[in-house]
Structure 1
Amino acid sequence: MRKLLPIIGTNGASHPGGRSALTCRFRCGDACFHEVPNTTGNEYVGDVIAGALSRRSMMRAAAVVTVAGAAGTAALTAGAPEAQAAPATHGKGGKGRPGGGKKGKAARGLRFTPVAPNTDDKVTVPDGYRQNVVVKWGDPILRGAPAFDPDNQTAEAQAGQFGYNNDFLALLPIPGERNRQLLVANHEYTDEVLMFRDYDADNPTREQVEIGWAAHGLGVVVVEEDRKTGRLTAVPRHHLNRRVTATTRFRLTGPAAGSDLLKTSADRSGTTVYGTLNNCAGGVTPWGTTLHGEENFNQYFAHGSRTTDTRYGIGTGETERKWERFDKRFDIAQEPNESHRFGYVVELDPFDPDSTPRKHTALGRFKHEGATVRLTSDGRPVVYSGDDERFDYFYKFVGSKRMKKGSSRAVREHNLSLLDEGTLYVAKLTGDSPAIEIDGSGTLPDDGEFDGSGEWIPLATATARGAVSHVEGMTAEEVFVFTRLAGDKVGATKMDRPEDVEPNPVTGKVYVALTNNSNRGVGSNAKADEANPRNANKHGHVLELTEQWNRADSKKFAWSLFLVAGDPEDPATYFAGFPKDEVSPISCPDNVAFDTYGNLWISTDGNALGTHDGLFGVATRGDRRGELKQFLTVPKGAETCGPVIQDRRVLVAVQHPGELDGASAGNPLSAWPDGPGRINRPAVVAVWRADGDDIGE
């Protein structure tokens, strides 16, 4: 029986992926309307199979990797450091064990009434659940910061207030402070036309530009739970609260630090950079820090001209925000290396407000959606990251140093260096079906799955003594600074906007959210292949990867498409084999997270089905594998970001509410969160069960 209402309404979107023109202008600099940066002729999944390897040998290889991956996961669960953070089991079918769901009943953690697709101008949650706004753009979080006044904004005030367009979220326990946690948030980008009533896009003022600088970056704020009601509220002026902005001092670390490629007139050492930009998703490390991916950094730099600028999508003219008029570092004609200092993974120690954040060059430079970490059985970090661009790649970094336990300054400093030494890899995927069976329509091949095997191709290795390139014709420094070019050279597989890449803490499998790619198979662009099986792919899909990841030398994996998104009534969709009349429609998967049962939670960005973005939970194992249910929807023009899934609480970042064509600060087209006629404010929302029990129980 179909559980949800049919698709209804429209969000007024007019750009690819269901987004408004306003979103495309300010979030990514109209990336979809520029030429595809990756014009290389890499091998495609559907072409490789026509080579020497037979279908039977490929399937045998995939099976071997799958068994090895399962064995690796068992080994990790038995005693590796990450297993210690896994939930305790509660008998057969309990947390952390397969078989949690009963036939005919939803999987544990997903037992809620799905929210129907809608276009309501509010955050809609399941029956029996409650919600509250935790913190909003402009709320004061530092001592001395004033209350938010939309008509009297200043850069000084914004530097002490919660930033704009919250994306990635993390909640960390605070030792010794009961009922309190540390909320860490990315502030991805600014919508100046929605922020300032008198904004002139052709002639922004210096104050408006400096407010924009202060509204970017990261936010750290303590939050407190009311145990009686479940509400979560920000604690202003706590000593751990912090803002990191586009002018905060950062330290460049790793193999490219000090390179001539990173030196500027203001920093002749090539080791210090000011600011972080377009921070999208991120991750929490096992040693207690947070990671933040610099994504669409290209849009902030003007007057690009070189081949490397084109490969990274840097335009030749002025930028949307005109920052280059007020600081020459945003003008490539004057500072050709400044853009080389953005596009990295940032590491922040949120428990030390005086610490200098780091940009890790060993993880490569590209449009990092985020970075997630787990440990091998001998304590080495493995970091996954996607490059959010049409026809770009996803990556893995394997560190060579082992994590130390403890909280001393020496131990923390050691752990902060773990991501500076190791090997950076890029993924190459091979399908196990003949190319003729992948026709671009999304029709499953004869074996009933889109699947195959893959390998991690090494790009460069960084050590304490120096770095070595594994890419012919490129130095190690060039690999780490121009990582996209290195991926091109080794023939990595072109993907449909690989965004969040997250390992499942229960099963060990890795999930890659591929948001969409309306250019797939269009014109001279790469055609559909088994890993990206639909031409003009407007709904996206989710890749499931199995590898022997607990070993530092693991270079092989098996893969399959776990979800092929869209309306379940569309024959081109796939939900891990689960009956499609029992799932929620989903479009444009973006950020992902896991609950303690190993269920995958997916937030969407740009729903191309005509309804609002939302958050979805889907079982990854057992007889309910593939059952996908919508948990919430967000208001008009908004995107669902940064999901945090705890046993008794879900946190989401409601990003860019009211970001619709024709909207402005003086003409808001959404009434969320403060009511009709009020300026729209991105915010963090907490959701919990009214009876105080666990989510989805």
Structure 2
Amino acid sequence: MRKLLPLLNSGSHPGGRSALTCRFRCGDACFHEVPNTSDNEYAGDVIAGALSRRSMMRAAAVVTVAGAAGAATVTGGGQGGGARAVAADGGAGTGTAAGKSKSARGLRFGAVAPNTADQVTVPEGYGQNVVIRWGEPILRGAPAFDPDNQTAKAQAGQFGYNNDFLSLLPLGHGRQLLVANHEYTDEVLMFKGYDPENPTREQVEISWAAHGLGVVVVEENRRTGALTAVTRHQLNRRITATTEFRLQGPAAGSDLVKTSADPSGTKVLGTLNNCSGGTTPWGTTLHGEENFNQYFANASRTTDKRYGLGTGASERKWERFDKRFDVAQEPNEPHRFGYVVELDPYDPESTPVKHTAIGRFKHEGATIRLTDDGRPVVYSGDDERFDYFYKFVSSKRMRRGNSRAAREHNMTLLDEGTLYVAKLTGDSPAEQIDGSGKHPEDGQFDGSGEWIPLATATADGAESHVEGMSAEEVFVFTRLAGDKAGATKMDRPEDIEASPRTGKVYVALTNNTDRGKSGKAGADEANPRNANKHGQILELTERRGAADAKKFGWLLFLVAGDPQDPATYFGGFPKDQVSPISCPDNVTFDPHGNLWISTDGAQLGSHDGLFGAAVQGGRRGELKQFLTVPIGAETCGPVVQDRRVLVAVQHPGEVDGASVEKPASAWPDGPGKLVRPSVVSVWRKDGRDIGV
């Protein structure tokens, strides 16, 4: 019988991460009271009347897998390393019948076993290289990285810290344009002798420069498959916490976003805590400002509490060096963060934009698909316990081509349209959802849903659809609008992706250990487990070809955790032939239509990793681990191309008690070197496509 590794960080943090990570990434959000105290109706409280269990979801019903299955059975890798890949041919596992048929196309690799190795572990037959590290110079004039002599000026020309979302855009001639988010800084792991109570101005300004976005040209080595950065290229760029942004859309110019430094309410300095993102059909990138609240001090208003702003000093003490981070002095400055940012990576002189029409909350990211008539639809999750997920439907059509006029027009597409929040209804009686994860009598967690309109922005103004709130208030205090609209409280909605093949939408719900606690919301059909530490993935079916549809059907495609746990579910695929997975976070699709899932805070004793899952066909639910990351790290990115997988290895070595003087990891450069977040490329050594 497969035995999982001992739990990591057991009892240290309800979200599965070290206290150090929680402290610097999200301002200890899980240790604070849940910001959402509304009494919204829950999915399990109402039995759908007009919608039968299969009326909308029959096409997405689970396929019963008869006979032999083909996923590898994964065995524990052993504490401390020695990780191995099993079933290197993508077929046989450890003595099961899996070898009698092949895995889904794109998933034919040997599943990496759960492990705690201080390395990036990939399947047998695959190679890897570090594409770029924190601190490597990317702009002309920037010096080589010197950990003992860091400066803000140097960092502004170097690759930023804690890379998260990644996008690869075409350039031609074996080159691509890599765009990366730099979510947050961990000063304890950046500076020797760091005193958290008394940071220096230079340290703070280095941190400002290490936040934001990075644009780097990368080049493929056709002989080895490695991907390397082209330093000091003319398209390379750094966006930091002090770069000027343009505020666009219905809240731009509002009194709610004006400050003493910007009485126009249209110019913002910097972007903070950029987590995941998306790539637009017109060749720009989107970036979600997530846990921005932690950077501000001395908040006091009710709206500040709904967004998790603290009443005392901030963790990094930035308010000592710039009054805009002191809410007592600049009460509107936090209202200028929490948006979706758009960047034109092909134009290093362009001004990045914050789109207020997509709403203000803790955006995990923002991903786009087009309606049949060419209008973009943006999906975005609000990464907080018991918060919501949203979509924005533009009223304007995309223009094809790369002319200047087309690009300028397309950069305005996300400023006019309607913002919606999701409300889900389960189709089983509430008493059948007991919080254990046991399926209801109909055998499926599923139901119907509706997109509730919050506000509509037009060229002539904006209209609120929420009683008691103006349109400007809806776009700036979107969480409050979601409360009033009765949206469904979810288990930390994170990345959202639509399948380019089927149109189905997948929502990663990472976890929520507060569900079912005294005074907190209990389980419902979309969030069926109390004290949920492993998370789930929701599959939405909207009317085909109409991403602007107001109704949808839904089911849980994946209920994560140990496959031996009866509460887990893998799309109907045999559970003894899948990889264990916990805490799904970012998702993407490969060229074969498989869903790839990166994890954050896995609670099964193994390091976080990247997994591929078949979502259609006879092998629906087959899930295989492709890689794991080093000690303390999170798997971010990811990008899956025909011949390459790209991941951002974020916060390696970020475990309790670690520091520059006492590192917990030796990755990526070995003992005696500073631990550095980095981007990693993985490819097949034989030069063939991934997983075929």
Q: Distance in 1 between matches of 2:127 and 2:217?
A: 21
Q: Does residue 119 in structure 1 map to residue 116 in structure 2?
A: yes
- Could you tell me which amino acid in structure 2 is paired with residue 161 of structure 1? Q
Cα distance change on mapping 1:552 and 1:627 into 2, 3 Å = closer
What residue number does 2:503 align with? 508
Whether the 8 Å contact between 1:169 and 1:652 is mirrored in structure 2 is: yes
- Could you tell me which amino acid in structure 1 is paired with residue 280 of structure 2? T
Cα distance change on mapping 1:131 and 1:117 into 2, 3 Å = same
Tell me the alpha carbon deviations over residues 571-610 of structure 1, each in whole angstroms, 9 at most, x when there is no partner: 1100011110000000000000000111000000001112
- Could you tell me which amino acid in structure 2 is paired with residue 523 of structure 1? S
| Residues 216-365 of structure 1 aligned to structure 2 (within 5 Å) | 216-365=211-360
* From 669, 676, 686, the counterpart of 1:674: 669
Q: Distance in 2 between matches of 1:575 and 1:65?
A: 17
What residue number does 2:199 align with? 204
Q: Is the partner of 1:286 in helix, strand or coil?
A: coil
Whether the 8 Å contact between 2:559 and 2:570 is mirrored in structure 1 is: yes
Q: Distance in 1 between matches of 2:287 and 2:28?
A: 23
Q: Distance in 1 between matches of 2:387 and 2:544?
A: 23
Could you tell me the TM-score, scaled by structure 1's length? 0.93
- Per the TM alignment, residue 426 of structure 1 is displaced from its structure 2 partner at its CA by 0.2
Cα distance change on mapping 1:60 and 1:571 into 2, 3 Å = closer
Q: Distance in 2 between matches of 1:106 and 1:620?
A: 12
* From 133, 138, 145, the counterpart of 2:135: 138
* From 456, 464, 470, the counterpart of 2:465: 470
Cα distance change on mapping 1:594 and 1:571 into 2, 3 Å = same
- Would you say how many aligned residue pairs link Structure 1 and Structure 2? 655
- Could you tell me which amino acid in structure 2 is paired with residue 45 of structure 1? A
Q: Distance in 2 between matches of 1:601 and 1:403?
A: 28
- Per the TM alignment, residue 549 of structure 1 is displaced from its structure 2 partner at its CA by 5.6
What residue number does 2:594 align with? 599
Query: Identity across aligned pairs (percent)?
Result: 78
* From 523, 527, 551, the counterpart of 2:522: 527
Whether the 8 Å contact between 2:140 and 2:232 is mirrored in structure 1 is: yes
Q: Is the partner of 1:59 in helix, strand or coil?
A: coil
- Per the TM alignment, residue 404 of structure 1 is displaced from its structure 2 partner at its CA by 0.3
Q: Distance in 1 between matches of 2:15 and 2:688?
A: 37
Q: Distance in 2 between matches of 1:635 and 1:666?
A: 19
- Per the TM alignment, residue 349 of structure 1 is displaced from its structure 2 partner at its CA by 0.1
Q: Does residue 611 in structure 1 map to residue 606 in structure 2?
A: yes
Q: Distance in 2 between matches of 1:582 and 1:223?
A: 37
Q: Distance in 1 between matches of 2:613 and 2:505?
A: 14
What residue number does 2:21 align with? 23
What residue number does 1:147 align with? 144
Whether the 8 Å contact between 2:8 and 2:604 is mirrored in structure 1 is: no
Whether the 8 Å contact between 2:57 and 2:541 is mirrored in structure 1 is: no
Q: Is the partner of 1:536 in helix, strand or coil?
A: coil
- Per the TM alignment, residue 523 of structure 1 is displaced from its structure 2 partner at its CA by 0.9
Q: Distance in 2 between matches of 1:408 and 1:565?
A: 45
- Per the TM alignment, residue 66 of structure 1 is displaced from its structure 2 partner at its CA by 7.2
* From 18, 31, 34, the counterpart of 1:33: 31
Cα distance change on mapping 1:663 and 1:641 into 2, 3 Å = same
Q: Distance in 1 between matches of 2:617 and 2:154?
A: 51
Whether the 8 Å contact between 1:11 and 1:636 is mirrored in structure 2 is: no
Whether the 8 Å contact between 2:356 and 2:475 is mirrored in structure 1 is: yes
What residue number does 2:79 align with? none
What residue number does 1:82 align with? none
Q: Distance in 1 between matches of 2:385 and 2:210?
A: 28
- Per the TM alignment, residue 17 of structure 1 is displaced from its structure 2 partner at its CA by 2.5
Q: Does residue 59 in structure 1 map to residue 45 in structure 2?
A: no
- Could you tell me which amino acid in structure 2 is paired with residue 359 of structure 1? K
Q: Does residue 442 in structure 1 map to residue 440 in structure 2?
A: no
Q: Distance in 2 between matches of 1:165 and 1:362?
A: 28
Q: Distance in 2 between matches of 1:653 and 1:9?
A: 25
Cα distance change on mapping 1:465 and 1:66 into 2, 3 Å = farther
Q: Is the partner of 1:212 in helix, strand or coil?
A: helix
Q: Distance in 2 between matches of 1:57 and 1:299?
A: 43
- Per the TM alignment, residue 16 of structure 1 is displaced from its structure 2 partner at its CA by 1.4
Q: Is the partner of 1:480 in helix, strand or coil?
A: helix
Q: Does residue 45 in structure 1 map to residue 43 in structure 2?
A: yes
What residue number does 1:371 align with? 366
- Could you tell me which amino acid in structure 2 is paired with residue 608 of structure 1? Q
Tell me the alpha carbon deviations over residues 174-223 of structure 1, each in whole angstroms, 9 at most, x when there is no partner: 1xx40000000000000000000021000000000000000000000000
What residue number does 1:97 align with? none
What residue number does 2:651 align with? 656
What residue number does 2:168 align with? 171
Q: CA RMSD in A?
A: 1.4
Tell me the alpha carbon deviations over residues 241-281 of structure 1, each in whole angstroms, 9 at most, x when there is no partner: 00000000000000000000000000000000000000000
Cα distance change on mapping 1:496 and 1:29 into 2, 3 Å = same
* From 136, 157, 161, the counterpart of 1:160: 157
- Could you tell me which amino acid in structure 1 is paired with residue 161 of structure 2? Y
Whether the 8 Å contact between 1:380 and 1:552 is mirrored in structure 2 is: no
- Per the TM alignment, residue 548 of structure 1 is displaced from its structure 2 partner at its CA by 1.7
- Could you tell me which amino acid in structure 2 is paired with residue 111 of structure 1? R
Q: Distance in 2 between matches of 1:242 and 1:141?
A: 7
- Per the TM alignment, residue 552 of structure 1 is displaced from its structure 2 partner at its CA by 5.8
Cα distance change on mapping 1:123 and 1:275 into 2, 3 Å = same
Tell me the alpha carbon deviations over residues 295-337 of structure 1, each in whole angstroms, 9 at most, x when there is no partner: 0000000011100000000010111100000000000000000
* From 582, 588, 599, the counterpart of 2:583: 588
- Per the TM alignment, residue 640 of structure 1 is displaced from its structure 2 partner at its CA by 0.2
Q: Is the partner of 1:452 in helix, strand or coil?
A: strand
- Per the TM alignment, residue 63 of structure 1 is displaced from its structure 2 partner at its CA by 4.6
Whether the 8 Å contact between 1:389 and 1:498 is mirrored in structure 2 is: yes
Could you tell me the TM-score, scaled by structure 2's length? 0.93
Whether the 8 Å contact between 2:288 and 2:364 is mirrored in structure 1 is: yes
- Could you tell me which amino acid in structure 2 is paired with residue 163 of structure 1? G
Q: Does residue 692 in structure 1 map to residue 690 in structure 2?
A: no
Q: Distance in 2 between matches of 1:373 and 1:293?
A: 13
Q: Distance in 1 between matches of 2:204 and 2:466?
A: 40
* From 532, 537, 543, the counterpart of 1:542: 537
Q: Distance in 1 between matches of 2:223 and 2:490?
A: 47
What residue number does 1:431 align with? 426
What 5-or-longer segments of structure 2 have no aligned partner? 62-97
Q: Is the partner of 1:356 in helix, strand or coil?
A: coil
Q: Distance in 2 between matches of 1:305 and 1:224?
A: 49
Q: Does residue 559 in structure 1 map to residue 583 in structure 2?
A: no
- Per the TM alignment, residue 104 of structure 1 is displaced from its structure 2 partner at its CA by 2.6
Q: Distance in 2 between matches of 1:639 and 1:677?
A: 22
Q: Distance in 2 between matches of 1:549 and 1:34?
A: 41
- Per the TM alignment, residue 679 of structure 1 is displaced from its structure 2 partner at its CA by 1.3
Q: Distance in 1 between matches of 2:553 and 2:99?
A: 28
Q: Distance in 1 between matches of 2:310 and 2:59?
A: 43
What residue number does 2:85 align with? none
What residue number does 1:71 align with? none
- Could you tell me which amino acid in structure 2 is paired with residue 131 of structure 1? Q
Q: Distance in 2 between matches of 1:684 and 1:529?
A: 38
- Per the TM alignment, residue 570 of structure 1 is displaced from its structure 2 partner at its CA by 0.6
Give 1 or 2: higher helix fraction: 1
What residue number does 1:635 align with? 630
Q: Distance in 2 between matches of 1:552 and 1:655?
A: 33
Q: Distance in 2 between matches of 1:553 and 1:278?
A: 29
Q: Distance in 1 between matches of 2:593 and 2:464?
A: 37
